Amino acid sequence: MAMAGVEHRVLYRDPRFYASFPSLTAMPDGSVLLAFRRARDHRWLRGPEYGAGEAGFNHVDHLDSRSQTVLLRLGPDAEPLGEAVALSPDPQAADQDASLLTLRDGRILLTGFRWYPVPSSQGDDLRALGIGLAGSPQKTGDLYIFWGGYSRHSDDGGRNWTPHRDLPPLPGHPDLVPGRRPFHGGAVRGRAVEAPDGTILQTGYTHHPSTGTYASHLFASTDRGESWVHRAVIAIDSDAKAGFCETALHLDADGVLHAFHRTTGLDDCLATSRSTDLGHSWEPWRRHAVVGHPYDACPLPDGRLLLVGGYRHAPYGVRARLYDPRRQQPDEVPELILRDDGPAPDLGYPWASVLPDGRAMVAYYICDATGSRGIEATLFRP
């Protein structure tokens, strides 16, 4: 179903950078904080015509030794307030996705994961030590060691941030660097929740040693994000066919915790999981007739849930569902098309927030006619 009365905004675009993977959090003063990953895009050196056309639209590069988390504050009408500001990086590794959550006491929590760059000339020696490497010398220049998940926080409205703090090691997973660095937390992308008792719940994912497919994990903090424990595996496929990753959480008014998974091996369909004990145990995962990835689940003031996801099948864009998670399933309600004009499938990762006037804002990344990836938003009344 095509949406009427929508407004599209460009929040950030710079031809020198590849901007992607946004997240949003509403602030107590009515503003919204936007975080996204910014990496170098060398194509600007060759001129704007180099990025246009099929080659430019399909240029995908999600590994960069200088990728960083950037913050941009948005006003009540989703207008940028000031310039985008890059956060201090991890001293050893490149920051990847960022996920934001504002706690009830005003603290802002930021979680994410990192890649550790190493010279390609060291690849054979490092692999001989049992260290896994990503990337290729020809495409990414450097090689990369997955460096694990982290959290950091701000107590002054996002002006100053604590250093990166590793999430706890995943039980049963081999070290990232044998004998030197455990497998901290997995990759982290997806909305966290704060329970009524103050417990913060955040997801991570990685390939599970027993299946070789992605499994989604849950981490918990009872001290406002100062420390974390691994609470449970949310979803895993014992048949080693399906994978679950980039999981968003929603805690409904009945205390049921819902998990929304991007999947592999399921024809790009949504899968969900439910827990009635704050994630200590989980019901079997369920597949839905909803296509796209990944998902964000934004609670609305009237109790409904705004579920948004990227759509990387022609026509490329962003889609949504509006429903009551206590009484309905996401595939029982109509699909809403927010965008269907994406020039290429490398887009999406939407994240939603509610503006003070009740409108919903859905931020995502998408390329323009020159192939430049930027952060845009769609505003509408749900």
Query: Would you state the pLDDT for residue 57?
Result: 73
Lookup result for tokens 């490329």: 316
191/298 Cα distance (integer angstroms): 9
Q: What is the pLDDT of residues 104-119, one digit of tens each?
A: 999 999 999 999 999 9
Q: What is the pLDDT of residues 293-338, one digit of tens each?
A: 999 999 999 999 999 999 999 999 999 999 999 999 999 999 999 9
Average pLDDT, the chain: 94
Q: What is the pLDDT of residues 157-197, one digit of tens each?
A: 999 999 999 999 999 999 999 999 999 999 999 999 999 99
Q: Is the pLDDT of residue 19 over 70?
A: yes
CB atoms within 10 A of CB 267: 8
Helices (H), the chain: 53-57, 123-128, 137-140
Q: How confident is the model at residue 2 (pLDDT cuts 50, 70, 90)?
A: low
Give residues with Cβ within 8 angstroms of 196, minimum separation 6: none
Query: Would you state the pLDDT for residue 64?
Result: 93
CATH architecture of the domain covering 7-380: 6 Propeller (2.120)
Read off the pLDDT of each residue in 366-379 and give the average, rounded to a whole number.
93
Q: How confident is the model at residue 48 (pLDDT cuts 50, 70, 90)?
A: low
Query: Would you state the pLDDT for residue 204?
Result: 98
**Distance of CA 125 to CAs 118, 246, 274, Å?**
11, 32, 44
Query: Would you state the pLDDT for residue 52?
Result: 64
Q: What three-state secondary structure class fits 44?
A: helix
Lookup result for tokens 């927010």: 338
Nearest to 215, CA basis, from 174, 249, 255, 187: 187
Nearest to 247, CA basis, from 221, 212, 223, 282: 282
285/234 Cα distance (integer angstroms): 8
Phi, psi of 57 (to 5 degrees): -60, -35
pTM above 0.85, yes or no: yes
Q: Is the pLDDT of residue 234 over 90?
A: yes
Q: Is the pLDDT of residue 280 over 80?
A: yes
| Strand runs labelled E in 276-315 | 286-291, 295-299, 305-311
| Domain map (residue ranges) of the chain | 7-380
Nearest to 27, CA basis, from 98, 76, 66: 76
Q: Is the pLDDT of residue 53 over 80?
A: no
Cα end-to-end distance, the chain, whole Å: 14
**Are 141 and 127 contacting, i.e. CB atoms less than 8 angstroms apart?**
no
Amino acid letter, residue 104: R
Strand order in the sheet with 243-251: 243-251, 257-264, 269-275, 286-291
Read off the pLDDT of each residue in 112-137 and give the average, rounded to a whole number.
94
Rg of the Cα atoms in the chain? 20
Q: How confident is the model at residue 54 (pLDDT cuts 50, 70, 90)?
A: low
Phi, psi of 53 (to 5 degrees): 90, 180
